[in-house]
Structure 1
Amino acid sequence: MEFDLNTLLIIILFGLIASFIDSVVGGGGLISFPALLAVGMDPAVALGTNKLASSFGTLTSTLKFVKAKKVDFDIVGKLFPLSFIGSILGAITATYLPPEYFKPLAIIILTLVTFYSILKKDWGDINQYKKLSLKKAILFIVGVVVIGYYDGFIGGGTGSFFLFVLLLIGLDFLHAAGNAKFLNLASNLGALILFMVLGQVNYIYGLSMAGAMVVGSYLGVTFAIRKGVSYVKVLFIVVTISLILKNVYDYVTSHIL
């Protein structure tokens, strides 16, 4: 793909918008990945390039959350390598098995997550985390590995899934968002490494979008910290609904139309 200034400007603009949203609740791939496809990038290269850019954005938002003391390393510190490994395994699986077959499952899970978040009115308003029992700890660990695998295999909504499982163990929305970014950073890096090994990354456009995502992520987290839990909760619901609609559209157009 030849370098083009107009293409570069489009990538930077959409990278900025995507990272602003993704920095808090995930879902930025809804914007950044289609933007890369729209400028004519090969789907496989677009995936790898998007991972390169989003890794920089996620790192920025993670550091911002850490500085604001919204990341609980005693909860998620030891889970970073598990999310990382899960993502690599998922990306390897994607090279053999088309992820499209599992889109309906993602739609169902996202729908359940959204309804649960809407119906449980006071959920995530305050931090109610308590030390987990052995059973809950095992389920939480398995959930992190599975979501990391999902990110490498399918992607799209990974940050929202991480945020959801962290809400389930009692964190408020803002702390859940910070810890979700930490785990999402691991899954982004895992998938990115595989894409780099396979040569499926456009570094010129990827690093340009990465620069925009660093700015967008910084602004997004700053805004979320200032606005508080209620803002993050509303954004989470909006993004999960958008993810559902996007996945339904993709499934219908590829299997029915």
Structure 2
Amino acid sequence: MLNLFIICVLGFLAAAVDAIAGGGGLISLPALLMVGVPPHLALGTNKFAASLASLNSSITFARSGKVHFTLVKWQIPFTFIGAALGVWAVLSVSSVFLNKAVLILILLVGIYTMAHKSLGLEDKFQGLNSYNVVIGCLFALSLGFYDGFFGPGTGSFLIFAFITVFGFDFVAASANSKVLNFTSNFASLLLFAWNGKILFSYGIPMAIFMILGSFVGTRLAIQRGAKLVKPIFITMSLLVAAKLIYQYI
């Protein structure tokens, strides 16, 4: 019961943070490891709970009108394919180099966002064209692959990409990134489920609390806007970097 309490409380917090600015995996995955779940089962169980939470966030953001369906309908299949390829690749390719590369990139994202005070505070989206749709599909494919292959910071990279490529504010960027994040999570989840790597006795109660957390986080993001999302985004980006530095050391 104590273990269930720990993973449910931390799962709620993880999903709330993740719905706002990404990075919830920094909380939910360690929670499962903390209570003694073996790493391979922890990864699968976390994907199960996180997928349901990100689905709930996607639906809530969609109902609020923050999801740009004309855009994401093109990106979803690329994200799914990328994630499937990433899961397949991780079985045979070392992630050591990627670990170092991501550390540098996530630090740059956090520092760049802090340095540009107005970045993402206003919606400067000016419509879709063939160029930005192609760029959007390319980053959906590459970040889907990254999420399936490695994972940390995917939400932060997606939000940053939506802001810089399309001019969305942080709330709109977070909303659209949640749809793609759910897609990559679901693609990865299928493989974990196929291989029996989900511990449902922990995964189901954790998922329930993560769904509740995602609802709270999404509503906060919608109501409070970019001024709430941006500082949490910067914080989670730097925490991801700190976690990678710790692992590297």
- Per the alignment, residue 107 of structure 1 pairs with 103
Q: 1:235 aligns with which of 232, 238, 242?
A: 232
Q: Which moved more, 1:95-104 or 1:31-40?
A: 95-104
- Per the alignment, residue 19 of structure 1 pairs with 15
TM-score calculated relative to the size of structure 1? 0.93
Q: In structure 1, the residue corresponding to 2:98 is in which secondary structure?
A: helix
- Per the alignment, residue 167 of structure 2 pairs with 170
CA distance in 2, matches of 1:196, 1:82: 21
TM-score calculated relative to the size of structure 2? 0.96
- Per the alignment, residue 64 of structure 1 pairs with 60
**What whole-Å deviation, never above 9, does each CA across 1:144-166 have from its counterpart, x for those lacking one?**
11111111111121111111110
Give, in angstroms, the shift of residue 101 of structure 1: 3.7
Matched, 1:89 2:85: yes
Instruction: List alignment gaps of at least 5 residues for structure 2.
Output: none
Q: Which moved more, 1:138-147 or 1:179-188?
A: 138-147
Q: In structure 2, the residue corresponding to 1:121 is in which secondary structure?
A: coil
Letter of the 1:10 partner, please give it.
I
Matched, 1:189 2:191: no
Using the aligned pairs only, state the percent identity. 37
- Per the alignment, residue 33 of structure 2 pairs with 37
Instruction: List alignment gaps of at least 5 residues for structure 1.
Output: 253-257
CA distance in 1, matches of 2:39, 2:3: 16
Matched, 1:152 2:148: yes
- Per the alignment, residue 255 of structure 1 pairs with none
Q: In structure 2, the residue corresponding to 1:129 is in which secondary structure?
A: coil
CA distance in 1, matches of 2:103, 2:129: 30
CA distance in 2, matches of 1:8, 1:91: 28
Equivalent residues, number: 248
Give, in angstroms, the shift of residue 64 of structure 1: 0.9
- Per the alignment, residue 209 of structure 1 pairs with 206
CA distance in 2, matches of 1:224, 1:171: 14
CA distance in 2, matches of 1:99, 1:33: 18
- Per the alignment, residue 119 of structure 1 pairs with 115
Q: CA RMSD in A?
A: 1.2
Give, in angstroms, the shift of residue 135 of structure 1: 3.7
Give, in angstroms, the shift of residue 132 of structure 1: 4.4
